[in-house]
Chains A and B, each alone.
Chain A
Amino acid sequence: MAASAARGAVVLRTNIGRPVAFVRKIPWTAASSELREHFAQFGHVRKCTVPFDKETGFHKGMGWIHFSSEEELHNALQQENHIIDGVKLHVQPQKPKALQGDQTSDEEKDF
C-alpha cells in the first residue's frame, strides 16, 4: 500500500503540458493547410487539425496547432492578432486535459 502510494507520487511528478494552441473562430474558407501556413511563422508546427463535419462538409470553426516547444506556442500566443482571410482568430493555449496539481512534494526532483 505504502509502496503503491509512493509510486503514485513518483510517477506524477513529471507533469508535462503539451504545447498546443486551441484556435476558435476559424473562417469557413480556411482549413488546416491555411492554419499551418499561418502558424509556421511562430515555429515548427508538428500537427495541425481542423476537424470537418462529414455531415455538412464544413468544419466547425475550431482547430488545434501542436507546436514542438512551449516557446513556439508562447510566441504564437504573444501575437495579439491572428488574421486569416480577413477574419480574426481566437487563439488560446489548450487547457490541460485533466486536473493539474501544484508541483509540491518534489524533494527528489531535479528542478
Chain B
Amino acid sequence: MAALLRPARWLLRAAAAPYLPLSLRLLAGGPGRPDAAVCLRAARARPVAGGLLSQARLHSIAAEKKNYLQEEPTSSHRRNASQFDWALMRLDNSVRRTGRIPKTLLQKVFDNTCHSGSPGGNQALLLLRSCGSLLPELKLSERTEFAHKIWDELQKLGTVYDVSHYNALLKVYLQNDHKFSPTDFLARMEKGNIQPNRVTYQRLIAAYCNMGDIEGASTILGFMKTKDLPVTEAVFSALVTGHARSGDMENAENILTVMKEAGIEPGPDTYLALLNAYAEKGDIDHVKQTLEKVEKSDLYLMDRDLLQIILSFSKAGYPQYVPEILEKITYERRYIPDTMNLILLLVTEKLEDTALQILLACPISRESSQNDFGSFFLRHCVTMNTPAEKLKDYCKKLKEAQLHTSPLQFTLQCALVAQKLDLAKVLMKALKEEGFPIRTHYFWPLLVGHQKEKNVQGIVEVLKGMHEIGVTPDQETYVNYVFPCFDSIKSVRAVLQENGCPHDDNVFSQAELRSKAVNGNLDYILSFLESNTLPFSFSSLRGSLILDCVCSNLLLLLQCTHFLSYQITELLYKDGRYCQEPPGPTEAVGYFLYNLIDSMSDSEVQAKEERLRQYFHQLKEMNVKIPENIYRGIRNLLDSYHVPELIKDVNILVEREKTDSRKPSSSDLESKLEKLKAENQPIGDILKQLIVMLCSEENMQKALELKAKYESDMVVGGYAALINLCCRHDNAEDALNLKREFDRLDSSAVLDTGKYVRLVKVLGKHGKLQDAINILKEMKEKDVPVKDATVLSFFHILNGAALRGETETVKQLHEAIVTLGLAKPSTALSSPLVTLYLEKDDLPAALESTIDCYEKYKILPRIHDVLCKLIEKGETELIQKAMDFVSQEQGEMTMLYDLFFAFLQTGNYKEAKKIIETPGIRARPTRLQWFCDRCIANNQVETLEKLVELTQKLFECDRDQLYYSLLKLYKVNDDWQKADAVWNKMQEENIIPREKTLRLLAEILRNNNQEVPFDVPELWYEEEKDCPTSLPSPVEVNLQQGLLNACHRRRNKAVSRSIFCSNIFNIRTVVFIISPWCSTIYYRIRSIAETHIKGFTLNDAANSLLIITQVRRDYLKDALTTLKTALDLDQIPSRLAVTRLIQACALKGDTESIHDIQKLVNGLEDSIGLSRMVFINNIALAQIKNNNIDVAIESIENMLTSENQTVDPQYFGLAYLFRKVIEGQLEPALKKISIMAERLANQFAVYKPVTDLFLQLVDSGKVNDARALLQRCGAIAEQMPILLVFCIRNCQRPGKAPVMKSLLELIPELIDKEEAYTCLMKSYVFDNDVTSAKALYESLTAKNVKLNDLFLKRYAVLLKNAGESVPFTEPPESFEFYAKQLKESKETHL
C-alpha cells in the first residue's frame, strides 16, 4: 500500500512550493505518475491455468455479482431477496478475505437461489464459477459433482444456458482435473444449439493436453485455424503441458521456440507450465535452471506461481523438493490466502505432512501471542479425518514453533463441533497430560448431536467417555443434554444402570428436581419442599439454581394462573424449615420476591406489570410482609426497570408501614418553624424541609435569608440544596461560601455528582479557577461517581470557556479533569483545547494544540476543522506539517482522507479529486459515513453532492450508501427534482439500490405529489403486512420513525439536561420521541422543562403521544385534560389519540366523557380525520356497558330511520360496536342488537347493520349464530360490496384463513367474485393452509374460471414452500410484476 500511495506523497511535497496558488501547486502531480505505473505493473493480475486462485478471478466474480444484480434488481420474494443479497455478500466477502468459499456457504447460496424462483443466467454463472479452486476444502471429484448438481438443478428451474456457462463449466473441469470427453462436450453444446467460441476451444485444447493427448489437441487447433481464430499464449502453454504429459519433454521445451517464431513471447504462464511439467517429473535440476532463466529475463514469478510448483511436486510424490521452492517464496502479505489455500488443498489430497511443512515456513510474526496461526489447518485435518496421533504431533509442532498458543484446545473444539468422540477422547487425554483441566461442559457438544436424534446409545457412549476421562456429569449435563433424550427420568436411571454408567445419586436427584422445575412441574417442587428430609435451609436454596427455576416458573405461572406460586410463597413464608435463621420468614419471602424480580428482564416486568400488581396484592391479603431494606432493593430494581408504578404496590407489603405525611406549603412550614423556634425546640429537620422547598420554588433570596437567620441549625441537606440553587442562579460567591460552610459542618459529607459539576462550572465561569480545581480534586478524593452525562457536562464547561476565550480556564480544568482521572481525554473532551485557538484564528497554535493532544493522549481533536482553516488561509507549510504528522502517526490512508474531507469542505474540489484518485486508496465506510452525516447535519448540499461524485471510482465504495445519504439530505430540503436526478444517476452508474434507498426516494417523490417511476419493493404486500389494522395517518408514520430513531439514539446518548436547556426545540423533540416508550421519563423531562423554560408547551404530536400513553396507563382523566390543553392551544391531536381515548372511555361506560370529547372536537372532526361513527359506536357501547341497552338501540334506530340522516346508511358501520359486544359476551345486548338489525333490514331495507353483525359473528367464530341470522335474513348474501370489503380487509392479516373459510361456506356464491377468491387464496397463503388452498384451486378450475397470474404465482409459491409439486407452470416473473400487470389491466378496463 505504501508503494501505491507514493504519488500522493509527491503531491504533497509539490504543495510546499510557496509561490503557486494552492490549487495549482496541488495539481502539479505529473512527475509522480511513472512511479505509479511501475507499481501497477508489479501488481499484474493474470489468470493462472488451473489450480490456485488468482486475484483477477476474484474480481471477475465480484463484477459478476454486480451484473447479476443489475439484471434483476428485485427478486420475486422480498424475504428471499434480502436473504439472497446477504448470502451473496457473504460469498463475496469470503472470497475477498480468505480467497476461498466454504462449502456450506456455497450450498446456502445455492439453496437460496433455487428458492427464489427462476434464477437468472448470471446467478447461475456465479454459482458454477465457484465450484473450482475456490473450494480447496473439497475433494476434486466432489467439486465437479457439486457443479453438475448446480447445473442440473438450475436447468430444471428454467435457467437458460449460453456459451459463457459452458465455458465456465469447462474451467471448473480443468481446475478440478476432471476427466471428460471433449468431443462429447462439444456434442452436448451442439445439441443445446450453442456455438462454441475461442475460449471454448482454448479450454478444450487444455483438456486434451492435461490428458497428454496431443492428437486431440491438434484436431481442435485445426478447427480454430479453419475458423481463423487467433492462437494465444494460453494455447501454447497448454501444449507445453500436453507434450510433457505425453512424455515428450523435448518437444515441450520446443514449444517456446515455436511461440517465438509465431511472434508470441513466452510469458510467465508458459514458463509456469514448463516448470510444472518438470516438477511432475521430479526433475529439480531443470526446475532450478528454468527458474534462473526466468529470473534473468525481465519476467517475474509471483508467490502464487511458486506455490503451484510446490503443489505439482507434492502431488507427483516428490515432497523432498518442497523446501527448495519454499525458500524462493517472498511471502507477500496478499499471497497469504493463496498459501492457506494450498495448505488446505494438500490436506484434502491427504498430503498433510507437506501442508504442515508449508505452514511452518509461513513467516507469521511469532511474538504477538494473540493471533494464533494454523487453526484453519487443524480444523481441516479434523474434517478430513487425519489420524488422531498425527494431529497430536502437529499440535505439538505448532506450539513449539510458537505459531499457535493452544493448538490442542483448538483441535479439540473442532473435534467436538464435528462430534468426533474418539478423536476428542485422544485429545482430552493429551490435554490432561499437559495438566490442562478437562471440564464437564466439553462433553456437551457431543451430547447435543445425540440428543437431537434421540440416540440413547450415543448418549451412553459419551457418558462412558466422560467416566473414562474422569469427569462426572453435573446437574446441567443431565437436565439440558441427557434427560431430553428420554421419555422419563426413571428410564434414564434404568438405562444408565443397565449400561454400567456410574452416576452420583445426589447430583442425579437434584438434577431431577431441577428438570421438573424447568418443565413447570410445580406440584413436584411443592411436594419436594414439603417432604424434603434433607437439611435444606432457605439460604442454600436461595443461592441455588433451583430458586432460579422456581422464579422462572413463577413467571410462567404468572402468565396464566397465580395459584401455585402463592402456595409456594406461602410455604416459604409459613414453613419454619425454610427460615431457621434469625431474620425469620419476612426475610425469606422478601428475598424471594427480590430474586423473582431480579430474574426478570425490564421488558418482562413492564409487560407483566398488572400481573405482578395482582400478585403483590394477593400477598398482602395473605398478610405476607417484607422488611424495609429488601423493599428498598426491590424499589431500586423496579426503578431501574422503569416501572416505578409498581413501587407503591410493593410498599404495601413493608413490615413497618411508614406513613408519608402530605406535603405542607412553604408558608405552613415557615410558621411551624417559627413556632418551634419560639418553643425552643429543635428545628433542624423542618428548616431543611423549608429550604429544600424554597429551592424548588427557586426562591434564592428567601432561602439565603433563612439560612443566615438560622445558621446554627443548618444541616448538610439544606446546604446541598442551597449550593445547587446558587449555582443555578449563577451566584458563584454565595455558592463557594456555602460550600465552605458545608465542609466545616461535616468535612466527610459528599454532594451528588450534578452539584459538584455545577459548582465547577460556576466557579470556572467566574474566574475562581483554583476553587474549581479544588472541587474537582474533592470529587476524586470522595470518589464521586462520574457518568457519561457528567463527562458531557465537563465538555460543556470547557467548551463554554473556550468560546469565551478563557485560555487558562480551559487548559487548567482540562488538565485537572484528565490527570485526576475523572474522565478519559476523549476527542470530544479535548476539543475545547483546539477550539480556543480556532476561535481566535490562531492557526499555528491550534495545530500545535491538536498535535500536543496526540502526543499526550493519542487523539487528534478537531483535526478536520484545523485543516479546513489552514486550507482556507493557504498555510501550506502548516498543512505539510499536519499531514506529515498524521501520516506518520496514523498512516497515509488516514492522512489522505483527512485532506480529502478538508478540501471538500472548503470547496477545493479539484484538489479533493486528486486525493481520492490516489492509486491504492480504498473506501473507508465509517469515515465516509462520518462526513456524510456531517454534511446532512449542516445541510451542505453541494459538498455532499461533490463527495458522491468524486468517490464514483473509489475502490470498494458502497455507492448505494452514499446515494442514500444524499437522498436523506434532499429529503430534509424536500428537493424532489434532485432526488429524481439521483435515481437516474444510480442507473447510469449501474448501482443496485437497496430497498431502504428506494423507499426513501419514493417517499420524497410522493410527498411532492410526484409519480414514483419504479415499483417500491412489494408495496402491495408489504403495507398489508406492516400495518395489520388500518393504515396509519402520516403523523403516525412520522412518530414511528421518530420512535425508531429514538431507540437507536437511546443506546448512544444519555439524555442530558445540558442538551435540553440549550435549545427549546430539542426538548420538544426529545419529549416527543421518548414519551411513548417511557412515560415516566417523559414526565421527568417535562417537569424539568416546565420548571426551567418559561412557557414550555408540547406540540401536537407530543401531546397526542401523551394522550395515548395516558390511555394505555389508564389515566383517563389526565388524558382528557391533555386533550383539552392541546385543543386550547389550537393544536390538532392525532386521530389515533382521540380514538383511543374515546374507546377507553366507552369501555369504562363513561358516556359523559365521550360527550365531552365530542363537544371539544366539534368542528375539527375532519381535520382530525374522525369518523362520526366513532362517537355513535362508542356512545352506544358506553350506554350498553351501563346497562342502558334500550337507550342505545333506540338512538341508533332513530338515526337510521329519521328523515334527516347525518350518516348515509351505507356507511353506517357498527362493526366495532358489534365486535365489542360479542367479545364482551354481553348476551342480552347482543340479542337486542340482533333484533334491531333484523328489524332495520326487514322493515326499512337498511341492510348494512345486519350484514356487519353477520360478519362480526363469523369473524368471532360464532358460525352457527351467523348461519341462523343468514337464514332469517337472506338479503345478507346479496350485500356483495360489504362482504367483499370484509374479505379484502381480512386477507391482509395473518390467522384469518378459518374465518374466510367459514364465510365461503356460508355464502358459497362469493367464490364467483374474483376479489373474493383472490382474497381467499391470499389468506390461505398467509396461514400456510395448503389443504384449503388446494380445495379452492380445484373448485375454481372445475368451474373453468380463468385465473390470473398473480393468483397462480401465489399458489405455486405456497405449494413449493410446502415441498409439493406445482400442477402447472409457475409464472416465471416476480410478484410485483404480476401485481403491476393486474393493476394496469384493471385500469385499462375502467
User: Restricting to A66-106, which residues have a CB under 8 Å from any CB of B?
Assistant: 70, 85-88, 95-106
What's the dominant secondary structure at chain B's contact region? helix
Decide yes or no whether B636 CB sits under 8 A from chain A: yes
Q: A29-B442, A52-B444 are in contact. Are A88 and B1118 (CB under 8 A)?
A: no
The complex places the Cα of A79 from the Cα of B752 at a distance, in Å, of 27
Q: Which residues of B lie under 8 Å from residue A98 when comparing CB positions?
A: 602, 640, 642, 1050, 1078
Q: Which residues of A lie under 8 Å from residue B642 when comparing CB positions?
A: 98
Q: Are B446 and A101 closer than 8 Å at their CB atoms?
A: no
Q: How far apart are B666's CB and chain A's nearest CB, in angstroms? A: 12
Q: Which residues of B lie under 8 Å from residue A7 when comparing CB positions?
A: 644, 1083
User: Restricting to B1069-1125, which residues have a CB under 8 Å from any CB of A?
Assistant: 1074, 1078-1088, 1091, 1115, 1117-1118, 1121-1122
Q: Which residues of B lie under 8 Å from residue A101 when comparing CB positions?
A: 789, 1054-1057, 1081, 1084-1085
Q: Which residues of B lie under 8 Å from residue A27 when comparing CB positions?
A: 406, 409
CB-based nearest A residue for B789:
A102
The complex places the Cα of A4 from the Cα of B1079 at a distance, in Å, of 10
Q: Are B639 and A105 closer than 8 Å at their CB atoms?
A: no
Q: Which residues of B lie under 8 Å from residue A11 when comparing CB positions?
A: 639, 644, 647, 1080
CB-based nearest B residue for A109:
B752
- Among A1, A55, A57, the most chain B Cβ lie within 10 Å of the Cβ of A57
Q: Which residues of B lie under 8 Å from residue A5 when comparing CB positions?
A: 1083, 1086-1087
The complex places the Cα of A110 from the Cα of B452 at a distance, in Å, of 57
Q: Are B1115 and A4 closer than 8 Å at their CB atoms?
A: yes
CB-based nearest B residue for A66:
B598
The complex places the Cα of A86 from the Cα of B410 at a distance, in Å, of 12
Q: Are A103 and B1084 closer than 8 Å at their CB atoms?
A: no
Q: Are A4 and B1083 closer than 8 Å at their CB atoms?
A: yes
Q: Are B752 and A108 closer than 8 Å at their CB atoms?
A: no
Q: How far apart are A45's CB and chain B's nearest CB, in angstroms? A: 11
Q: Which of A16, A31, A88, A99 contacts B439 (CB 8 A)?
A: A31
Q: Are B1074 and A99 closer than 8 Å at their CB atoms?
A: yes
Decide yes or no whether B863 CB sits under 8 A from chain A: no
Q: A102-B1054, A107-B724 are in contact. Are A54 and B639 (CB under 8 A)?
A: no
Q: Are B445 and A57 closer than 8 Å at their CB atoms?
A: yes
Q: Which of A9, A16, A86 contacts B639 (CB 8 A)?
A: A16
CB-based nearest A residue for B448:
A57
Q: How far apart are B1249's CB and chain A's nearest CB, in angstroms? A: 39
Decide yes or no whether B1255 CB sits under 8 A from chain A: no
Q: A28-B413, A88-B370, A106-B754 are in contact. Are A56 and B445 (CB under 8 A)?
A: yes
Q: How far apart are B508's CB and chain A's nearest CB, in angstroms? A: 19
Decide yes or no whether B481 CB sits under 8 A from chain A: yes
Decide yes or no whether A18 CB sits under 8 A from chain B: yes
Q: In the complex, how many residues of chain A place their beta carbon closer than 8 angstroms to a beta carbon of chain B?
A: 49
Decide yes or no whether B755 CB sits under 8 A from chain A: yes
The complex places the Cα of A87 from the Cα of B696 at a distance, in Å, of 54
Q: How far apart are A56's CB and chain B's nearest CB, in angstroms? A: 6
- Among B405, B635, B717, B1084, the most chain A Cβ lie within 10 Å of the Cβ of B1084
Q: How far apart are B665's CB and chain A's nearest CB, in angstroms? A: 14
Decide yes or no whether B787 CB sits under 8 A from chain A: yes
Decide yes or no whether B385 CB sits under 8 A from chain A: no
Q: Which of B370, B405, B446, B1084 contacts A8 (CB 8 A)?
A: B1084
What's the dominant secondary structure at chain A's contact region? loop
User: Restricting to A24-73, which residues have a CB under 8 Å from any CB of B?
Assistant: 27-31, 34, 52, 54-59, 70
CB-based nearest A residue for B635:
A14
The complex places the Cα of A59 from the Cα of B790 at a distance, in Å, of 36
Q: Are A97 and B602 closer than 8 Å at their CB atoms?
A: yes
CB-based nearest B residue for A1:
B1118
The complex places the Cα of A99 from the Cα of B1054 at a distance, in Å, of 6
Decide yes or no whether B463 CB sits under 8 A from chain A: no
Q: Are B639 and A14 closer than 8 Å at their CB atoms?
A: yes
The complex places the Cα of A29 from the Cα of B1054 at a distance, in Å, of 37
Q: A5-B1083, A15-B640, A101-B1054 are in contact. Are A108 and B692 (CB under 8 A)?
A: yes
Decide yes or no whether B1269 CB sits under 8 A from chain A: no
Q: Are B1087 and A57 closer than 8 Å at their CB atoms?
A: no
The complex places the Cα of A52 from the Cα of B1057 at a distance, in Å, of 41
Q: Which residues of A lie under 8 Å from residue B1057 when comparing CB positions?
A: 101-102, 104
The complex places the Cα of A66 from the Cα of B1058 at a distance, in Å, of 32
B435-452 near A? 1/0 per residue, CB < 8 Å: 010010110111110000
Q: Are B717 and A107 closer than 8 Å at their CB atoms?
A: no
The complex places the Cα of A30 from the Cα of B442 at a distance, in Å, of 9
Q: Which residues of B lie under 8 Å from residue A97 when comparing CB positions?
A: 602, 640-641
Q: Which residues of A lie under 8 Å from residue B753 when comparing CB positions?
A: 103
Q: Are A102 and B409 closer than 8 Å at their CB atoms?
A: no
Decide yes or no whether B750 CB sits under 8 A from chain A: yes
The complex places the Cα of A109 from the Cα of B695 at a distance, in Å, of 12
Q: Which residues of B lie under 8 Å from residue A108 when comparing CB positions?
A: 692, 696, 721
The complex places the Cα of A34 from the Cα of B1081 at a distance, in Å, of 39
Q: Which residues of B lie under 8 Å from residue A29 when comparing CB positions?
A: 409, 436, 439, 442
Q: Which residues of B lie under 8 Å from residue A105 when comparing CB positions?
A: 696, 1087-1088, 1091
Decide yes or no whether B905 CB sits under 8 A from chain A: no
The complex places the Cα of A98 from the Cα of B1084 at a distance, in Å, of 15
Q: Are B448 and A12 closer than 8 Å at their CB atoms?
A: no
CB-based nearest A residue for B446:
A57
CB-based nearest A residue for B1091:
A105
Q: Are A58 and B445 closer than 8 Å at their CB atoms?
A: yes
Decide yes or no whether B793 CB sits under 8 A from chain A: yes
Q: Are A54 and B480 closer than 8 Å at their CB atoms?
A: yes
The complex places the Cα of A30 from the Cα of B437 at a distance, in Å, of 10
CB-based nearest A residue for B638:
A11
Q: Which residues of B lie under 8 Å from residue A59 when comparing CB positions?
A: 441
Q: How far apart are B640's CB and chain A's nearest CB, in angstroms? A: 6
Q: Which residues of B lie under 8 Å from residue A6 when comparing CB positions?
A: 1087
Q: Are A8 and B789 closer than 8 Å at their CB atoms?
A: no
The complex places the Cα of A100 from the Cα of B1051 at a distance, in Å, of 10
Name A residues whose Cβ lies closer than 8 Å to a Cβ of B: 1, 4-9, 11-12, 14-18, 27-31, 34, 52, 54-59, 70, 85-88, 95-111
| Contacts A/B (CB < 8 Å), 19 sampled | A7-B644, A8-B1083, A9-B1083, A14-B635, A16-B639, A27-B406, A54-B480, A58-B417, A85-B436, A87-B406, A98-B1078, A100-B787, A100-B1054, A101-B1084, A102-B1055, A102-B1057, A106-B754, A107-B724, A111-B750
- New contact pairs (14) apart from A7-B1083, A12-B1084, A104-B754, CB-CB < 8 Å: A1-B1117, A5-B1083, A11-B647, A30-B439, A56-B448, A58-B416, A85-B436, A97-B602, A97-B640, A102-B1057, A105-B1087, A106-B724, A110-B720, A111-B716
Q: Nearest 7 pairs between A and B by C-beta?
A: A8-B1083, A11-B644, A57-B445, A57-B444, A57-B448, A102-B789, A107-B696
